[in-house]
Structure 1
Amino acid sequence: MTFQAGGSFDIDAWDADKPYDERDGTKLTRVSVRKTFHGDLVGTSTTELITVESSAGPVAYVGIEHVQGILHGREGTFVLQHSAGSEDGTPGTQWLRWLIVPTSGTGELAGIRGVGQITVTEDGAHTWTLEYSLD
């Protein structure tokens, strides 16, 4: 059975290191992020990102996020793999996707699999959707 979940999250911390690679106007930077989730998932997470910035602004990132919380009444943890970017650094060209890492679920979320998406609203708020199944 496939479930749909959604809500919002707050970014509690965004700790960026100095760029570790800068060439021809492109910067690569490691960022540690902490979030609090609201909605169908109530919980927190820690994330490690590698961001790409060009003359157009922030244009891509990849990351791994460890989520701990309660999803539709089931408590546990799971890991999200991020893939995100923008053609020109603006919200209109953004794509922000999640993949639940198979076998990463624990507790009542053991066996969770699925995909999700982040949307950044015009006021900068973050909403999310998740389509998942449980073995």
Structure 2
Amino acid sequence: MPTQITAAFDFDSWDEQEVLDVEGARIVRTTFVKRFTGDLEGTSRGEMVMAHALQGSAAYTGYERVEATLAGRRGSFILRHNAHMAQGAGSSEVVIMDSSGTAELTGLSGTAEIERHEDGTHTLTLSYDQHE
């Protein structure tokens, strides 16, 4: 049974670079740095590519390398993001990339959910297993 933890996070930086903007269709490349507090303590750096369509649909995919302490164990791992939204409904998938855990986080696997709250804060809920 997976272990579940929750951590708050803030963005230390968010930098968007427009790749394409033609007739309302946009593609944007974003780099970011996050700081996690709570059950996961550390930072991450990542990059995403986002697409915005004229009719309001949007999608993104990206990767984020987390360097942190999780359950007293220090190391890093990569989160893979994939999400889309159309007509007000959407879905997202965030998973720990296979074999990406390092140091004391080797063997880490699992999924994550990201929630953006009305006050602008964010929460990451990580459900994970660790096989050594």
* TM-score > 0.5, shorter chain as reference: yes
For structure 2, list consecutive stretches of 5 or more residues without a partner in the other structure: none
User: What code does the residue aligned with 2:79 have?
Assistant: L
User: What code does the residue aligned with 2:124 have?
Assistant: W
In structure 2, the CA distance between the partners of 1:31 and 1:45, relative to structure 1 (3 Å rule), is: same
Counterparts of 2:118 and 2:90 in 1: how far apart (Å)? 12
User: What code does the residue aligned with 1:54 have?
Assistant: A
For structure 1, list consecutive stretches of 5 or more residues without a partner in the other structure: none
TM superposition shift of 1:23: 3.4
Residue-by-residue CA offset, 1:23-54 (whole Å, 9 max, x unaligned): 34211111100000011100000000101223
TM superposition shift of 1:20: 1.3
| SS across alignment from 2:104 | helix
TM superposition shift of 1:58: 7.3
Asked if 1:8 is matched to 2:8, the reply is yes
Counterparts of 1:82 and 1:66 in 2: how far apart (Å)? 11
Counterparts of 2:57 and 2:43 in 1: how far apart (Å)? 25
TM superposition shift of 1:124: 1.6
Percent of pairs with identical residues: 37
Asked if 1:22 is matched to 2:18, the reply is no
- Aligned pairs for 1:49-64 (under 5 A) are 49-55=48-54, 59-64=58-63
User: What code does the residue aligned with 1:74 have?
Assistant: R
Counterparts of 1:130 and 1:24 in 2: how far apart (Å)? 39
| RMSD of aligned alpha carbons | 1.7
- Aligned pairs for 1:39-78 (under 5 A) are 39-55=38-54, 59-78=58-77
When the two structures are aligned, how many residues end up with a matched partner?
131
Counterparts of 2:120 and 2:50 in 1: how far apart (Å)? 18
TM superposition shift of 1:125: 1.1
Aligned residue number for residue 110 of structure 1: 106
In structure 2, the CA distance between the partners of 1:14 and 1:99, relative to structure 1 (3 Å rule), is: same
User: What code does the residue aligned with 1:10 have?
Assistant: D
Counterparts of 1:125 and 1:86 in 2: how far apart (Å)? 20
- Whether the 8 Å contact between 1:75 and 1:108 is mirrored in structure 2 is yes
Structure 2 length-normalised TM: 0.90
Aligned residue number for residue 79 of structure 1: 78
